[in-house]
Amino acid sequence: MIRLYKSDESGAPVAYHEAWVEPQHRRIVEHWGYVGEAGETATHRVHIFGSLEKQFAGVLEGARELGFRELPESAYATLIVEFALTGEGSIADQDKQEDVSDALTEKLGWLGLGYCEEGHVTADTIEICCRVLNVDLAKTTISEALDGSVFADYSRIYQE
């Protein structure tokens, strides 16, 4: 996956344009929009006799020409979503950590806000690490996604 962003005069990312390959479907998925909004999606069939790298680069060529660029890791802030545990970490807790991480990566990704890295399970918490571009918007998005879901039992969301 390649994520590109266009920034405003202050340097804040305001629009995103990304693409990834789905080899099982022989397609490249392109997704673009404004940060915090779901945006639009298009799919491009991978031509079997063409270079995948060239096809992939071609999908993002227009965005690059418009000034979209990859951001350094330093552009992302870290949010931790924490779940309190009452006992030792278990396999079910590890499964929950993976499920929450996957769900939040999807939610944040479709809004161009960021992604989640692997979290970890300690003796008393499950922690999910989210790398985000807009802390306030991401906190709101994460809490809205979790509230009312099977993951509504989180204890806090905080910036690291």
Same domain, 80 and 155: yes
The residue range of the domain holding 23 is: 2-65
Digitized pLDDT (tens) for each residue of the chain, 160 residues in all: 999 999 999 999 999 999 999 999 999 999 999 999 999 999 999 998 889 999 999 999 999 999 999 999 999 999 999 999 876 667 788 888 899 999 999 999 999 999 998 788 888 899 999 999 999 999 999 999 999 899 999 999 999 8
Same domain, 27 and 86: no
Structural domain total, the chain: 2
SS (HEC) of 58-92: HHHHHHHHCCCECCCHHHCEEEEEEEECCCCCCHH
* CATH label of the domain that carries residue 41: 2.20.140
Give the H or E element holding residue 5: strand 2-7
* CATH label of the domain that carries residue 118: 3.30.70.3090
Find all residues with CB under 8 Å of 1, minimum gap 6, and list them: 18, 19, 20
Same domain, 151 and 82: yes
- Model pTM? 0.87
Q: Which of 14, 45, 65 is the last residue of a domain?
A: 65
| Cβ contact 77:157 at 8 Å | no
CA separation for the pair 85, 50 (Å, rounded): 51
Q: By CB neighbour count within 10 A (0-12 exposed, 13-18 middle, 19+ buried), where does 93 fall?
A: middle
Asked whether residue 149 is assigned to any structural domain, the reply reads yes
Q: What's the CA dihedral at 59, 65, 69, 70 to 10 degrees?
A: 30
Same domain, 81 and 135: yes
Q: Among candidates 53, 40, 37, which has minimal Cα distance to 113? A: 37
Residue showing tokens 């802390």: 135
CA separation for the pair 119, 87 (Å, rounded): 18
Q: By CB neighbour count within 10 A (0-12 exposed, 13-18 middle, 19+ buried), where does 16 fall?
A: buried
